[in-house]
Amino acid sequence: MADRARASATRAARRSGVRMRALGSTERSRACERLLSEVWQTGPGHPPLAADVVKAMADAGSHVMGAFDATAGGGELLGACVGLWGPPGHPAMHSHIAGVHAAARGRDVGFALKLDQRAHALEKGVERITWTFDPLVARNAHFNIRKLGGTASEYLTDYYGPLSDGLNRADASDRLMLRWDLTAERVRAACEENAGPGPAAPPAKALLAIDGDRPVARRAGGERVLVAVPPDIGLLRMQKPSLARDWRLAVRDALGTLLADGARLVDFDRAACGYVLARGEGR
């Protein structure tokens, strides 16, 4: 399994035109700090992860990897991914942060980084990686659930408290805890065959829908339901912050309640821009 995962990661890096390199040196850890500051739009004095912390994590054995542009001599850092190991006797990894420079979007650099992380974990005997992500960010939901084959069962309200970066813009830091089961058939198909988890199953009815750019709660029976999210929450946070807050509360109520009641997140439907969940005995 680890050999196949490594081969898939190597192919993904080659397709993306990047070379994977550890970020443990002083120079590379500083490059990582600068990259993450640009991605999260923070001031120079408030990076998401300081260079000395990046270096310390790498020195301690964490998975601290960067994707460097192979088409430009391999010198420019395009993306970074940092994963932390679990305690002794509990083989697991938590992926703390991952980001790709806006200039490299569309090249599947993030996919290559995550496949490298998957291969590294399997080589160490670990079969699960977790991480958090904002359920309002449709692009990340599609990537995590459809492209990587992950799932989530926990809705975490204001998990990190107030965040002052340019992406979150003081919005409550609600998160989904993603679970990436590295050897599951769904994940193998997505990562080793680049096939994704299969076609989206249409829900019976939307429990939370989009009307223009506003969230609209609806009554929805049936086994499968859809919880919509805005196509671009970042734009709403800049242009209509009160509407962005409405979306936060609406998704928290709909998605958080479903997961708390035992519904299972099975997909993200990009066309409908929403989470597909299975509930009831038939799930």
User: Residue 199: inside a domain, yes or no?
Assistant: no
Based on the fold, state whether residues 129 and 154 are members of the same structural domain.
Answer: yes
pLDDT at 195 over 70: no
Sheet holding 274-278, edge to edge: 214-217, 205-211, 224-228, 274-278, 264-269
Condensed to tens digits (0 to 9), the pLDDT of residues 31-56 reads 999 999 999 988 778 899 999 999 99
* Residue 198 maps to a domain: no
The pTM assigned to this predicted structure is: 0.92
Q: Are residue 218 and residue 266 in the same domain, yes or no? A: yes
Region 206-219 average pLDDT:
94
Q: 147 pLDDT band (50/70/90 cuts)?
A: very high
Residue after which a domain boundary falls, among 192, 217, 232:
192
- Tell me the residue range of the domain where 165 lies: 2-192
Identify the CATH number of the domain in which residue 77 sits. 3.40.630.30
pLDDT above 90 (res 120): yes
Domain membership of residue 150 (yes or no) is yes
Strand order in the sheet with 18-22: 18-22, 63-69, 77-85, 93-100, 128-133, 175-181, 151-156
Clarify whether residues 96 and 161 are in a common domain.
yes
| pLDDT at residue 62 greater than cutoff 60 | yes
Q: What is the pLDDT of residue 241?
A: 92
In a domain, 283, yes or no: no
pLDDT at residue 168 greater than cutoff 90: no
